[in-house]
Amino acid sequence: MIQFNEVSKRYPNGHEALRNISFTLDSGEMSFLTGHSGAGKSTLLKLICVMEKPTSGQVIIDNRNVGRVGRRKIPYIRRNIGMIFQDHRLLFDRTVFDNVALPLIIAGYPHREIGRRVRAALDKVGLLSKEKLHPIMLSGGEQQRVGIARAVVNKPPLLLADEPTGNLDPELSAEIMSLFEQFNQVGVSVLIASHDLSLIARLPHRVISLKEGRLLEDNNEVTGGA
Amino acid sequence: MSQSELGGPKGAQFSSGSTFISRFKMGIRHHGQECSKGLHEIFRAPISSFMTIAVLAIALALPAGFHVFLKNAQMVSSGWDNATQISLFLKMEISAEEVEKVQNELKNSVKIADVSLIPKDQGLKEFSELSGFGEALSFLDSNPLPDTLVITPTVAHSSPEASEALLIELQEIPEVELAQLDLQWVRKLYSMMAIAQKAVSALGVILGLSVLLIVGNTIRLAIQNKREEIQIIKLVGATDAFIRRPFLYSGLWFGIFAGILAWILVNSSVLWLKDPVRNLAGLYESQFRLSGLAFVEALQLIVIASFLGLLGSWISVGRHLKDIEPT
């Protein structure tokens, strides 16, 4: 699903965010990406969803070298990646329903299909009763779950999450993680960037550790998921 | 979300997206939604939208107003259009037969469409009736007026230059005392109006350009206000076309509203001037009525305005949307 071949990323200001990273995430695999802030976790995720392009090396997503993909093709790659952000990135002038429906509207799904899928996704994250509310009326944990519903609503084969439990208490964090495990169980590849080591330690998944842009540790033996 | 829907246990696969037909149908529905959303967007900030529309409308109303002014000026003077006539005042001593001979000769000329004779008696009668000197004229012993031939040149020879040449030619005829080109000033007025027409066109181009810039700037601000929203939409896979659409529709709506408002501005000014103009025309015993933008012209104005709005937002969106990438 994801393959990094000797990937380095240097930003225009000279900061070297990633140095010579190589790893593979198989289809249907669930993995954590850890490291201190500034270790390069976010950059790695940005390379996968083509928000940045590698300075050298190859980032291959679904057998496609995304570093070489033209500007016009990028949206179609992103439609197959569900992204979850620490700051949720919701549209606050729209209802929960409209936020979750966004990827489907963009992809041009039929109207009835949109209603059906949005409600299924909201049901999955336990927010079906709040579809008509605006995100501002929800708690932090609920907003994060709206973000998750939006990420999975078009059933992407790959989920990326950047610090999805960053602002949540341990109980809510565990709930969110179990949601990701449920998606993984039905075949979705999941990559979660997190520095919540105590939470990660409790879960039996692969952990990729970064330090100052280098791959520090990759306990590939413990594979989670299906 | 069942397991079967998400693919096999080996993991879900990348999909190529929805079918073409569903995308097409959704595309049309989406256009409708965006169209009304663009309208909604304008009404969301009614005061600032109205001010933008008012500025656009004034920029459009100026050339449209001048156009109406010229149109009316042409209507006033259109009665004078074929009035290029040359009056030939014949020598006093010429006999009636000779007058007829000259008249026939002139009638055969290819440059002349019509020749009419005003005999000296009829001329005196008309003069005494129209001038108000009737009393005084009756004291004259003899008719001081000569026979007059009124020459209407053919269309090809009624341009200022050609009629001037014809005038010189006619002056050469021995029986002619004096040849006079009438209403030369109408021609001068026409050429002045032709210049004014061009000036209005130039003004129209300049103000059309300003409409482009105003719409472009308004859309630029709208894009900046929605910076975050655009980033999010790009992250979930929106194409440039998808993001562009609502802005293009708002530009279109700005144009349409500005066109309608410009039409209202022009026609209400015309309405306001109608009575004074009619009074003035009445003093000149004219039936002239001031007319505003006709329906077709108003439609043209609105179409041009909406096109300018669309183009302005297109240029602006093309320039500014690329700068916004998700971070």
- Report the 3 state secondary structure along B186-234: HHHHHHHHHHHHHHHHHHHHHHHHHHHHHHHHHHHHHHHHCHHHHHHHH
Whether B7 maps to a domain, the answer reads no
Same domain, B168 and B225: no
A70 interfacial to chain B (CB closer than 8 Å): no
Residues in A 174-193 with any Cβ partner in B closer than 8 A:
186-189
CATH number for the domain that contains residue B92: 3.30.70.3040
Whether B45 maps to a domain, the answer reads yes
How does residue B95 score in pLDDT terms, banded at 50, 70 and 90? confident
Nearest CA in chain B to A43: B327
Whether B16 maps to a domain, the answer reads no
- B61-93 per-position pLDDT tens digit: 999 999 998 888 888 776 665 557 788 888 888
- The domain in which residue B161 lies consists of 86-182
Same domain, B195 and B67: yes
Is A187 in contact with B234 (Cβ distance < 8 A)?
no
Is A108 in contact with B11 (Cβ distance < 8 A)?
no
Element (H, E) at B321: none
- B304-326 per-position pLDDT tens digit: 999 999 999 999 998 888 888 88
Residue type, B39: L
pLDDT score for B16: 58
Residue type, A135: P
- Average pLDDT of chain B is 83
Contact list in B for residue A25 (CB cut-off 8 A) is: none
pLDDT at residue B155 greater than cutoff 70 = yes
Shortest distance, CA A105 to any CA of chain B (angstroms): 8
Is A105 in contact with B30 (Cβ distance < 8 A)?
yes
**Backbone phi and psi for residue A198, each to the nearest 5 degrees, phi listed first:** -65, -40
Same domain, B157 and B246: no
Residues in A 82-121 with any Cβ partner in B closer than 8 A:
83, 89-91, 93, 102-103, 105-111, 120-121
Same domain, B203 and B316: yes
Same domain, B297 and B150: no
Contact list in A for residue B233 (CB cut-off 8 A) is: 102, 106
pLDDT at residue B126 greater than cutoff 60 = yes
Interface test with A, best of B3, B5, B6, B14 (most A CBs within 10 A): B14
How does residue B4 score in pLDDT terms, banded at 50, 70 and 90? very low
Whether B146 maps to a domain, the answer reads yes
Pick from A205-219, B169-183, B244-258: least confident: B169-183
pLDDT score for B1: 41
Is A111 in contact with B10 (Cβ distance < 8 A)?
no
Same domain, B58 and B93: no
What percent of chain B clears pLDDT 90, i.e. is strictly above it?
31
Contact list in B for residue A93 (CB cut-off 8 A) is: 229
pLDDT score for A226: 36
B153-157, B170-174, B224-228: range with highest mean pLDDT: B224-228
Whether B196 maps to a domain, the answer reads yes
Overall pTM > 0.80: no
Contact list in B for residue A91 (CB cut-off 8 A) is: 229, 232
Contact B243, B85 (CB under 8 A): no
- B218-238 per-position pLDDT tens digit: 999 999 988 999 999 999 999
Contact list in B for residue A150 (CB cut-off 8 A) is: 236
Contact list in A for residue B244 (CB cut-off 8 A) is: none
Q: Which of B182, B205, B232 is the last residue of a domain?
A: B182
Domain count, chain B: 2
- Report the 3 state secondary structure along A98-119: HHHHHHHHHHCCCHHHHHHHHH
Helix (H, G, I), strand (E, B), or coil: what is residue A23?
strand
pLDDT score for B322: 84
Is B240 in contact with A187 (Cβ distance < 8 A)?
no
How does residue B260 score in pLDDT terms, banded at 50, 70 and 90? very high
pLDDT score for B184: 66
Same domain, B177 and B207: no
A51 interfacial to chain B (CB closer than 8 Å): yes
Q: Name which of B18, B325, B327 is nearest A108 (Cβ-Cβ).
A: B18
Whether B200 maps to a domain, the answer reads yes
Q: Can you tell me which residue has the tokens 């973000």?
A: A147
Shortest distance, CA B325 to any CA of chain A (angstroms): 8
Structure tokens at B316: 């602006």
Say if strands A2-10 and A189-193 run parallel, antiparallel, or are unpaired.
unpaired
Same domain, B242 and B199: yes
A30 interfacial to chain B (CB closer than 8 Å): no
Q: Which of B182, B200, B234 is the last residue of a domain?
A: B182
Whether B6 maps to a domain, the answer reads no
> What is the rounded CA–CA span in Å between residue B79 and residue B62?
27
Shortest distance, CA B30 to any CA of chain A (angstroms): 8
Contacting residues for B155 by C-beta, under 8 A, at least 6 apart: B113
pLDDT score for B257: 95
A135 interfacial to chain B (CB closer than 8 Å): no
ipTM: 0.88
Q: What strand order describes the sheet that includes A214-218?
A: A81-84, A158-162, A189-193, A30-34, A206-211, A214-218
Contact A63, A226 (CB under 8 A): no
Contact B86, B151 (CB under 8 A): yes
Same domain, B101 and B151: yes
> What is the rounded CA–CA span in Å between residue B295 and residue A35?
70
Contacting residues for B108 by C-beta, under 8 A, at least 6 apart: none
Contact list in A for residue B234 (CB cut-off 8 A) is: 75, 78
Whether B162 maps to a domain, the answer reads yes
Same domain, B56 and B205: yes
> What is the rounded CA–CA span in Å between residue A55 and residue A21?
12
Is B11 in contact with A28 (Cβ distance < 8 A)?
yes
Structure tokens at A42: 């976010």
A11 interfacial to chain B (CB closer than 8 Å): no
Count A/B contacts: CB-CB distance under 8 Å.
117
Which residues, listed in sequence order, are joined to residue A206 by a DSSP beta bridge? Answer: A31
> What is the rounded CA–CA span in Å between residue B22 and residue B25?
5
Is A187 in contact with B6 (Cβ distance < 8 A)?
yes
Same domain, B212 and B63: yes
Shortest distance, CA B263 to any CA of chain A (angstroms): 35
Q: Which of B182, B210, B240 is the last residue of a domain?
A: B182
Same domain, B137 and B197: no
